[in-house]
Amino acid sequence: MLARATPSTIAVRVRGLSDRAIAWLFITPTIALLLAINIFPLIWAVYLSFTNFRANRPNAEVEGVGLRNYQRVLNDADIWIAMQTTAHFVFWTILLQTVIGFALAYLIDRKFRGHAFWTTVILIPMMLSPAVVGNFWRFLYQPQIGLFNYIVSFFTGIPPSSFEMLGSVNLAPWAIIIVDTWMWTPYVMLICLAGLRSIPDYIYEAAEVDRASAWRQFWSITVPMALPFIMLAVLFRGIENFKMFDMVMLLTGGGPGSTTEVASITLKREAFESWLTGRSSAFAIVLFVAVFGLANIYVKALNKVKQR
């Protein structure tokens, strides 16, 4: 844009600030803020991860411990279990949200009467605070008095007090998966809807001329054309659910036992309850590198799909 300087733009640039000055003036505040509140803490966390610092003893002497924190983190069975729990949540929530979200988007794309209104209604859960909602779902899941158990028992005949969604080792993970799916399916639905709307009508018209069956049209046109969008939704949900914290904290706090203890909860416990600041920093860095690496590999795959 600067390269092709016509006489008029030269005249324009003489008055007021130069473009270069404006560019820096505009970008610097954002970069400065991110450096101060994101990058500086991150670098600090990297530094802490090589020390035995404990935040509840700020005056104790800080010693460098080399890679010992990382060694401990990578050899800690609890942390690997937490990672597995996280992976389990990410897998099931994404699977359910993608299937239900895509199905809903497909139905909404039929443009029935009032579809705009009902789409807005469906969007509401994802606008809410996961913590506040998680707290209330704890009430809905109460075995003696909760609405959820009442409804399940109404349809299945199982006595409501005989199953504790949040207190049972087998059910607690599903209790969280249900709430997460309730809350975030609309998000996947919206992105899928954008994908479906991006498919030009003439492709279906051509398929219609070729007498392709509805089933064939769905698998040969709809799904492949919407795939980049579905993958984008999976990426966003994956990153978010890898960090999942507030909802789990309020629903189960990681329990019963440690069956729902996802990585963020382990991290919180190590950092703010055990005050193992150095070690928890090492864990945080490992987590960040893992998300960052996985996201990068995934984005490469996504770009390949897009280019097809």
Partner 1 sequence: MSSVNTTAHSVVEPTPTVKRIAGAIVILYALITMVPLGWIFLTSIKSPPDSISYPPKIVFTPTLEGYCNLFTTRTRQTPDYIQSLPPPTGTCDEITRGRNMVIAGPSNYWPRFGNSLIIAFGSTFLAVSFGTLAAYGFSRFRVPLADDLLFFILSTRMMPPIAVAIPIYLMYRQFGLSDTALGMILLYTAVNVSLAVWLLKGFIDEIPREYEEAAMIDGYTRLQAFWKVVLPQATTGIAATAIFCLIFAWNEYAFAVLLTSGSAQTAPPFIPTIIGEGGQDWPAVAAGTTIFLVPILVFTIILRKQLLRGITFGAVRK
Which 259-298 positions form the footprint of partner 1 (CB under 8 A)? 263-264, 267-268, 271-272, 277, 280-281, 284-285, 287-288, 291-292, 295
Task: Tell me the closest approach of the beta carbon of residue 256 to partner 1, in angstroms.
Answer: 18
Binding to partner 1 (CB under 8 A) within 61-100 occurs at none
Q: Are 237 and 125 in contact (CB under 8 A)?
A: no
Q: Least Å distance between CB 34 and partner 1?
A: 6
Q: Which is nearer to partner 1, 161 or 169 (CB)?
A: 161
Q: Lay out the site mask for partner 1 across 201-220 (x = CB under 8 A, - = otherwise).
A: x--xx--x-----x------
Number of residues that bind partner 1 (CB under 8 A): 109
Residue identified by tokens 């606008």 is 127
Distance of CA 201 to the CA centre of its chain: 32
Residue among 163 and 182 whose Cβ is closer to partner 1: 182
Stretch that binds partner 1, among 77-85, 90-98, 165-173, 200-208 (CB under 8 A): 200-208
Kindly tell me which residue out of 5, 20, 78, 159 binds partner 1, with binding defined by CB under 8 A: 20
Separation between Cα atoms, residue 126 and residue 233, nearest integer Å: 14
Q: How far apart are CA 127 and CA 8, in angstroms?
A: 48
User: What SS3 class is residue 51?
Assistant: strand
Q: Which is nearer to partner 1, 82 or 172 (CB)?
A: 82
* Residue in the structure block whose two tokens are 């990068």: 296
| Residues between 22 and 61 that touch partner 1 (CB under 8 A) | 22-27, 29-31, 33-34, 36-42, 44-45, 48, 55, 58
Q: Pick the closer one to partner 1 by CB: 176 or 287.
A: 287
Least distance to partner 1, CB of residue 92, Å: 19
Q: Is omega for the bond preceding 143 within 30 degrees of 0, making it cis?
A: no
Alpha carbons 248 and 178: distance in angstroms, whole number: 12
Q: Is 305 in the site for partner 1 (CB under 8 A)?
A: no
276: left (phi over 0), alpha (psi -120 to 50) or beta: beta
- Please report which residue ranges of 124-200 form alpha helices under DSSP H: 130-140, 147-156, 172-197
* Cβ distance to partner 1 smaller for residue 119 or 220: 119
- The residue type at 233: A
- 155 is an interface residue for partner 1 by CB under 8 A: no
280 Cβ contact partners less than 8 Å away, ≥ 6 residues apart: 267, 270, 271, 274
Q: Is residue 301 a contact point for partner 1 (CB under 8 A)?
A: no
3-state secondary structure of 254: coil
Shortest distance, position 75 Cβ to partner 1, whole Å? 20
> How far apart are alpha carbons 20 and 24 in whole angstroms?
6
Residue 137 in contact with partner 1, rule: CB under 8 A: yes
Closer to partner 1 at the Cβ: 169 or 200? 200
